[in-house]
Amino acid sequence: MSRFLTVGAAQIASETSDLEANFAKHYEYVERAATLGVDLLVFPELSLVGHYGAEALLDVVMTRDDPRLLALSRAAGDMEIVVGFVEEARGAQFYNAAAVYRNGRLRYIHRKINLPSYGRLIETKYYAHGRFVDTHLITEDWVLGLLICADLYNPALAHLAFLHGATLLTAPISSGREAVGEDFDNPLSWATTIQFYAMMYGAPVVMTNRVGREGDLNFWGGSRILDPFGRVIAQGGGEEELITARLDYADTRRARALLPTVRDSNLALVQRETNRLIDRLGVPDVVREED
């Protein structure tokens, strides 16, 4: 039974800094997904606060065990939900976070590592950098890799997720057409990026973008679910909607038998060359992250 997984992408428009309105919309989409038998529902990056929610930083932050997050998860029951919010951690450190909840409990959390500060993106003004890449076990077959938006534009982070055992990649994003610049095609860039990861690593990808307008950015939607051969099996348009697909682990087995990228990754060589670069460039060591 664990070989099949029904996944959903909740393509929504969030209200900037309005937690109450955004929680209400999350409940609505959780209910809709439950009627469709969704096992894993992915919301966009910062889905509970909006793209520019951090402009009201101290009014929107939540701890990872905030009662409102746990109540939403209880409403979802056995469905695993991936929601985005601004996490307040120890020492008043604030993170762009995406967390997995199930049955009223936190299962896994990822703090965005690759914080953009280019184009119209200024995340380093608000957030601390995450420091770890790991995975979350859904079933013995389905191991969740979770990276947030620009994390995917650092290929080393995706590579690490797959070396940690990911068989499914989720990508909550917040992509506006104008975010990088007029000469950069964001929709095309995302379509190319997630197809590359799906094909290269033989893993399905669930990418969930937001829609609507916030400030100076127009969000184009286009959420997608890809199979492990890089084929789009569900795709959203430019409005709010829920897309779903049923994944078969047998497809991942076939894809990885044909192209064994994970198997053939030379981890010892990568570690050796990384250490050589650190020695040459004097990159400081970071060994732990406070909770």
Per-position DSSP letters for 18-83, written without gaps between them: -HHHHHHHHHHHHHHHHHTT-SEEEPPTTTTT-TTGGGGHHHH-B-TT-HHHHHHHHHHTTSEEEE
Q: Is 139 part of a structural domain of the chain?
A: yes
Domain that includes residue 170, residue range: 4-259
pTM for the whole structure: 0.94
Q: Is 277 part of a structural domain of the chain?
A: no
Joined together, the tokens standing for residue 110 give 């990822």
Query: pLDDT tens-digit profile of 77-132?
Result: 999 999 999 999 999 999 999 999 999 999 999 999 999 999 999 999 999 999 99
Distances in Å between the Cα of 237 and the Cα atoms of 1, 37, 220, 277 are 31, 22, 8, 43
Distances in Å between the Cα of 275 and the Cα atoms of 269, 271, 280, 281, 291 are 10, 6, 9, 10, 26
Distance CA 206, CA 58 (A): 31
Q: Is 132 helix (H, G, I), strand (E, B) or coil?
A: coil
Mean pLDDT value of segment 253-272: 94
Mean pLDDT value of segment 52-68: 97
12 DSSP assignment: -
pLDDT at res. 2? 63
Antiparallel, parallel or unpaired: β 143-146 and 241-248: unpaired
Q: Residue 274: pLDDT band by 50, 70, 90 thresholds?
A: confident
What is the count of structural domains for the chain? 1
Domain containing 154 — which CATH number? 3.60.110.10
Q: What is the mean pLDDT of the chain?
A: 95
Q: Is 279 part of a structural domain of the chain?
A: no
Q: Is 289 part of a structural domain of the chain?
A: no
Mean pLDDT value of segment 25-34: 98
Joined together, the tokens standing for residue 174 give 């917040």
Q: Is 73 part of a structural domain of the chain?
A: yes
The angle at the Cα of 149, spanning 246 to 41, to the nearest 5 degrees, equals 30
In angstroms, what is the C-alpha Rg of the chain?
Answer: 18
Q: Are 87 and 97 in contact (CB under 8 A)?
A: yes
Residue 283 has pLDDT above 80, yes or no: no
28: CB partners within 8 A, 6+ apart? none
Query: pLDDT tens-digit profile of 171-202?
Result: 999 999 999 998 999 999 999 999 999 999 99
Distance CA 195, CA 232 (A): 8
Q: Is 283 part of a structural domain of the chain?
A: no
Distance CA 217, CA 178 (A): 6
Q: Residue 288: pLDDT band by 50, 70, 90 thresholds?
A: very low
Antiparallel, parallel or unpaired: β 4-11 and 217-220: unpaired
pLDDT at res. 285? 56
Distance CA 219, CA 157 (A): 25
40: CB partners within 8 A, 6+ apart? 5, 6, 7, 8, 79, 80, 81, 82, 138, 144, 170, 206
